[in-house]
Amino acid sequence: MKKTCVLSLLMATSTMMWAKTDEAIARIDEAAKVFTEVMNAPDKGIPHELYDKANCIAIIPGMKKAGFVIGGNYGKGVMTCRNSSMASGWTGPSTVRVEGGSFGAQIGGGETDLVLLVMNQEGADKLMGDKFTFGGDASAMAGPVGREASAKTDAKLTAGILSYSRARGAFAGVTLNGSTLRPDNDDNRKIYGSEVSHKDILTGKVPAPAAARSLYASLNSPANLDSSGSTRARTTK
């Protein structure tokens, strides 16, 4: 009887671990889907010129928010950085979580997709740390939308991070105040099958998992190329 209970417990634990691993991998696929939908939005997507210049990108699908005026946020997603030494042109995805702070002027409950473009190496380095606070550790600005970047976009390139949100079908730049971004080491362990660091993943020191194929397909889609049709090659140091 005792052996049966132990065996049942082990099987239940194994099932839970597999379920959590599947959930972590499914989040990569969901991030790929969100990015494809955002870039395919007629005249409302992220400007190609900005996406072309970004060092890294973070996508948090279905971020939960609640509160009135002073809001709270919680969401999990993935972050990856350009790296020309990787076959896909991107590093493996690292699971990240965004928590706390306020979310622009939006109020009430609901879920919002969040996309972050990291525009320079300084911003990338800071997001590779154990904890990053928006508005405190580096400048973060609401990003402009539209098929092509306008002249005023040049000023926004001085920002370390450009942030976007999509809620109820509407897509726009958004300001994050006081929210934090940090790696989810448990989910990264499930995806990679061993203990790996957030920074090692994003600097290309960890081989990308097969589960990232859908994300790379979205990031490298011909529909997301700039007007010149050029491909992107940027090495993250």
How many other CB atoms sit within 10 Å of the CB of residue 45? Answer: 21
pLDDT digits (tens, 9 = 90+) for 174-205: 777 788 899 999 999 999 999 999 999 999 99
What would the pLDDT profile of 145-168 be if each residue is shown by its tens digit? 876 555 455 545 567 899 888 876
Q: CA torsion angle for 77, 198, 56, 73 (degrees, to 10)?
A: 30
In the structure encoding, which two tokens stand for residue 179, read together?
Answer: 């929210």
**pTM, entire model:** 0.81
- Burial of 46: CB neighbours in 10 Å, binned 0-12, 13-18, 19+: buried
Cα 155–Cα 160–Cα 177 angle in degrees, nearest 5: 100
